[in-house]
Structures are given as C-alpha cells and as structure tokens.
Amino acid sequence: MTGPDYSYEQAALARGATRVAGVDEVGRGPLAGPVTAAAVVLDPDNIPPGMNDSKVLSAKKREALYDVILAVADVSIAHASVEEIDDLNILRASHLAMERAVAGLKTAPDHLLIDGNMIPRGLTGSTEAVIKGDAKSLSISAASIVAKICRDRIMWDLAQQFPGYGWETNAGYPSKSHREALQNLGVTPHHRRSFKPVHNILYQE
C-alpha cells in the first residue's frame, strides 16, 4: 500500500487556494483524557519525508516526525476536555477540538482537508472531508502524528498522577488492565463519565 501524497493539496492549490491545512483528531475511543486535534499547513517545498497514518508508524518514527513537523510547518494543537466530552458527546467535542485547532493557526488557511466523513459545523468556507485521510493526504497525516504525540504525552503525565490505570501505555483506551483498574481503583476526575464502562461503575446498583 502506498502512503499519503500531496495530491489533495495540489488540487486545492490549483483551484486557487494558497494555504491548505490538514486537520485530524485523536482520542475518540478512550475512557479517559481529552480529545486532541491538530491542524497543519505544510510548506510544499519542505515536506518531511516518511509521513504516514500515525497508527502505522513506530513510536520512535512518530516522535522524530513530530519534531520535524513542528519545525517546518504552521501547526496548531487544541483539545476538548473530559467535561466537554461528557456535556456535548464525543463527536461534537472532537469537532470542537478541530475547530479550535484551525482557529489557532498563525495564518488562516483558505482550504481545509478534514479526516473522516463529516465536516465540523464550525468550520465554514472551503472545506473537504477525506475518509481515511491520514493515509491519503500528507497534511492530514502530519496532523494525525502531531495530535497523537501530544495526546500520548498528556496521558503519560496523567499516569504519573494517577498510577495503576496504565495510561502511560494504553493512553486511556479501554484495555483489559485499564478496565480492571477502574473496577479496583475507581473512577478518576479524568474519566469520561458519559462512556458506558465508566458510567456503569459510577451508577452500579
């Protein structure tokens, strides 16, 4: 399988866009922690080699690319909190994080490539949803790498404050050890109360 390329961006540039941003989020599935989004505008003349969907890259490769992307691209990272996830629902919260990431770019983009099949309602203007975009578009791939590294670091920090849940390795996802820790250690302030495994522990008879 070939990796992502710059064809989506080139098509937008050919239509008159001057700054194309890729947008992706990470952290919809975990039971704990924020959802994190990134928006990245790559320099067409200085694209880091070796980018791909963050899920298929090794941790070492992601870390190396993270530093390079931050050095050569316009990057914005944003989050939606556990409270916002519980108040809004995870889909709307992930879209909110995406909207915040786009708003945080140094210069506003004039075309957006959004990973997935839905465009967040707060993102108006020239916007394009790309299913499996992190494996197709280099800008979305860059955003997926940045968002994952940033969120993994947040969860590692939280794991030091709340040991026993394995967040330093499971990043808050519902691994067997994480679910067992929920039963044995209880619910932390960083758990998503609207998610069924957490809700069931809080409100079990």
Which residues are annotated binding-site positions for a divalent metal cation? 24-25, 115
Q: 51 near 143, Cβ under 8 Å?
A: no
- Dig out the tokens for 200 from the structure: 């069931």
Closest CA to 127 of 108, 144, 142: 108
Distance CA 175, CA 95 (A): 25
Reduced 3-state DSSP string for 12-63: HHHCCCCCEEEEEEECCCCCECCEEEEEEECCCCCCCCCCCCHHHCCHHHHH
Query: 165: which 2 tokens?
Result: 């849940």
Extract the tokens encoding 99. 């909207």
The amino acid present at 179, given as its one-letter code, is R
Binding site: residue ranges?
24-25, 115
Contact in structure between 6 and 61 (CB atoms under 8 Å): no
Distance CA 162, CA 179 (A): 14
Which residues, including other chains, have CB under 8 Å from residue 49's CB and lie 6 or more apart? none
